[in-house]
């Protein structure tokens, strides 16, 4: 049986690797770009002579499907995962805190270091504890409104200290502020990541992101699958309630028995006929809103940061990654990546302004940068980095099964129950693959 996957991001790749394991399937994956990985990819910048990620990517130990996927494709050595969370956090005023996993079990794992944080007053810390305890026992499905509203209902005032603390957890994980995300997603982050022991241990790739995606591509090829890169799908031919074929940008028409569409929502709508675009099931996908991420890469003439990463409170510079150390580069100088989530105010600034502004701030935060010379820099803006999680948006996240019987959806934007992350993308791909296998098995029985 022939199977076609459209889209070579993590969702399409996870589906592809799952299906590649199955006997009797003739698998083809189509990716519009000449390389795999989608939003989780890297590219070679000719002008700079450097390989750069579309944006720094981080995962947590709770991203179990992503970690299993990495092991399956043999890429577990290409990432690192802290054995115990350790994150230095600095305030703009120079105060330093360390968030470290403790030997305490389950939900208590992070409590000692949170209680030692210098950024929260004793009063604020006392207030925090009942809210965290409440988060443990709250039923997510029942939570209404925004996460900020939920926090206020549970004793978290609108003080600068409290907002700063919660944003520190929510902004990097959900790419938005507490007042813009649903209470369900805020609780999900607390329950799945912060209140489950080692679940919050941090991980990040030790190679450019495209190398991880290429491993997944190799996995598919080694099992007899086919990759078509550099050609996009342009139209899907559907007869009744069955998809028949996809037309590619070079005019080639590929027929298949089953389809997984792992494209962004606008890509999905573009390949459907007008009739299907307006269908009440698919039309919803066009309503999804997106949040931006900006990354600034700096190449300095000398090292200014010893550790691998550092987070800042209350500063437009949210996280700094020491790429030289993470990627094991031995040449002199240092490459840093500043990663800025929920970057609405920054996304429209010209790169030169953005660079000047962030460099000035970095010089305030890290004294070593004042003496350093910036040899080159690059601003990478992603306007549509992750989907918005404002209340109401869940209604536009489509399930994997569709009214077209042999066509299944995947993508971080689909209804995975997870935020728009690598973990969500992989889960969606696996789910779509399972549905497709079930469909094909049912069809064989009928025949």
Ligand X SMILES: Cc1cc2nc3c(=O)[nH]c(=O)nc-3n(C[C@H](O)[C@H](O)[C@H](O)COP(=O)(O)OP(=O)(O)OC[C@H]3O[C@@H](n4cnc5c(N)ncnc54)[C@H](O)[C@@H]3O)c2cc1C
What does the block give as tokens for 6?
């459209």
> What's the min distance (Å) between Cβ of 387 and ligand X?
9
> What's the min distance (Å) between Cβ of 39 and ligand X?
4
82 binds ligand X (CB under 6 A): no
> Using CB under 6 A, which of the segments 100-108, 276-284, 400-408, 415-423 binds ligand X?
415-423
386 binds ligand X (CB under 6 A): yes
The C-alpha atoms of residue 132 and residue 193 are separated, in whole angstroms, by 12
Nearer to ligand X, 131 or 296 (CB): 296
303 binds ligand X (CB under 6 A): no
> Using CB under 6 A, which of the segments 29-37, 96-104, 140-148, 282-290 binds ligand X?
29-37
342 binds ligand X (CB under 6 A): no
* Footprint (CB under 6 A) of ligand X, residues 206-265: 232-233, 262-264
Q: Which of 4, 5, 9, 389 binds ligand X (CB under 6 A)?
A: 9
Nearer to ligand X, 171 or 440 (CB): 171
8 binds ligand X (CB under 6 A): yes
Question: What residues does 28 pair with on adjacent strands?
Answer: 4, 226
Nearer to ligand X, 57 or 61 (CB): 57
Nearer to ligand X, 120 or 256 (CB): 256
Site string for ligand X, 45-74 (x = CB under 6 A): ---------xx-xxx---------------
202 binds ligand X (CB under 6 A): no
> Using CB under 6 A, which of the segments 138-146, 346-354, 399-407, 418-426 binds ligand X?
418-426
Q: Which of 382, 393, 401, 437 binds ligand X (CB under 6 A)?
A: 382
The strand pair at 59-60 and 96-100 is best described as unpaired
427 binds ligand X (CB under 6 A): no
The C-alpha atoms of residue 373 and residue 31 are separated, in whole angstroms, by 40
Q: Which of 1, 2, 22, 33 binds ligand X (CB under 6 A)?
A: 33
> What's the min distance (Å) between Cβ of 309 and ligand X?
12
Q: Which of 30, 199, 296, 398 binds ligand X (CB under 6 A)?
A: 30
> What's the min distance (Å) between Cβ of 295 and ligand X?
6
> What's the min distance (Å) between Cβ of 257 and ligand X?
19
What does the block give as tokens for 423?
């973990």
Q: Which of 5, 18, 28, 39 binds ligand X (CB under 6 A)?
A: 39
Q: How far is CA 145 from CA 162, 237, 284, 351, in A?
A: 19, 40, 21, 36
The C-alpha atoms of residue 404 and residue 246 are separated, in whole angstroms, by 14
> What's the min distance (Å) between Cβ of 414 and ligand X?
8
> Using CB under 6 A, which of the segments 26-34, 108-116, 153-161, 274-282 binds ligand X?
26-34
> What's the min distance (Å) between Cβ of 341 and ligand X?
8
Number of residues that bind ligand X (CB under 6 A): 37
Nearer to ligand X, 54 or 366 (CB): 54
Any idea what the Cα angle at residue 82 is, between residues 78 and 83, rounded to 5°? Answer: 115
> What's the min distance (Å) between Cβ of 305 and ligand X?
19
Nearer to ligand X, 89 or 262 (CB): 262
Nearer to ligand X, 110 or 262 (CB): 262
The C-alpha atoms of residue 39 and residue 9 are separated, in whole angstroms, by 7
The C-alpha atoms of residue 49 and residue 70 are separated, in whole angstroms, by 28
Q: Are 415 and 398 in contact (CB under 8 A)?
A: yes
The C-alpha atoms of residue 53 and residue 387 are separated, in whole angstroms, by 19
**Interacting residues toward ligand X by CB under 6 A:** 6-12, 30-33, 38-40, 54-55, 57-59, 232-233, 262-264, 267, 293, 295, 382, 385-386, 411-412, 420-423, 425
């Amino acid at each position: 049986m022939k199977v076609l996957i459209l889209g070579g991001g993590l969702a399409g790749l996870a589906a592809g690797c799952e299906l590649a394991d199955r006997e009797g399937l003739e698998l083809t994956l189509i990716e519009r770009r000449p390389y795999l990985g989608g939003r989780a990819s890297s590219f070679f910048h000719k002008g700079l002579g450097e390989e750069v990620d579309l944006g720094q990517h981080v995962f947590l130990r709770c991203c179990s499907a992503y970690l299993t996927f990495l092991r399956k494709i043999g890429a577990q050595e290409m990432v690192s995962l802290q054995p115990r969370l350790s994150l230095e956090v600095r305030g703009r005023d120079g105060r330093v805190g360390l968030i470290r996993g403790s030997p305490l079990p389950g939900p208590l794992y992070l409590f000692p270091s949170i209680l030692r944080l210098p950024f929260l007053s004793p009063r604020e810390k006392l207030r925090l504890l009942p809210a965290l305890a409440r988060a443990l026992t709250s039923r997510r499905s029942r939570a209404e409104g925004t996460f900020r509203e939920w926090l206020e209902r549970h004793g978290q005032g609108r003080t600068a200290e409290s907002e700063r603390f919660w944003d520190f957890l929510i902004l990097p994980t959900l790419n938005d502020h507490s007042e813009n995300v649903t209470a369900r997603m805020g609780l999900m982050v607390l329950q799945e990541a912060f209140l489950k022991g080692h679940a919050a241990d941090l991980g990040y790739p030790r190679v450019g992101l495209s190398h991880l995606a290429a491993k997944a591509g190799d996995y598919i090829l080694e099992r007899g699958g086919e990759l078509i890169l550099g050609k996009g799908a342009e139209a899907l031919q559907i007869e009744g309630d069955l998809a028949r074929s996809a037309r590619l940008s070079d005019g080639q028409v590929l027929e298949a028995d089953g389809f997984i569409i792992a494209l962004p929502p606008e890509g999905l709508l573009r390949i459907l006929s007008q009739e299907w675009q307006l269908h009440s099931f698919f039309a919803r996908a066009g309503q999804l809103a997106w949040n931006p991420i900006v990354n600034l890469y700096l190449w300095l003439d000398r090292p200014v940061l010893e550790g691998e990463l550092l987070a800042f409170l209350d500063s437009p510079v949210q996280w700094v990654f020491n790429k030289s150390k993470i990627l094991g580069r031995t040449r002199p100088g240092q490459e840093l990546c500043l990663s800025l989530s929920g970057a609405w105010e920054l996304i429209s600034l010209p790169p030169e302004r953005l660079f000047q502004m962030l460099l000035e701030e970095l010089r305030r935060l890290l004294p070593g940068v004042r003496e350093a010379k910036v040899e080159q820099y690059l601003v990478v803006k992603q306007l549509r980095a992750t989907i918005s999680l404002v209340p109401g948006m869940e209604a536009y996240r489509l399930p994997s099964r569709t009214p077209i019987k042999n066509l299944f959806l995947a993508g971080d934007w689909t209804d995975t129950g997870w935020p728009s992350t690598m973990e969500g993308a992989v889960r969606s791909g696996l789910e779509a693959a399972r549905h497709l296998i079930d469909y094909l098995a049912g069809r064989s029985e009928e025949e």
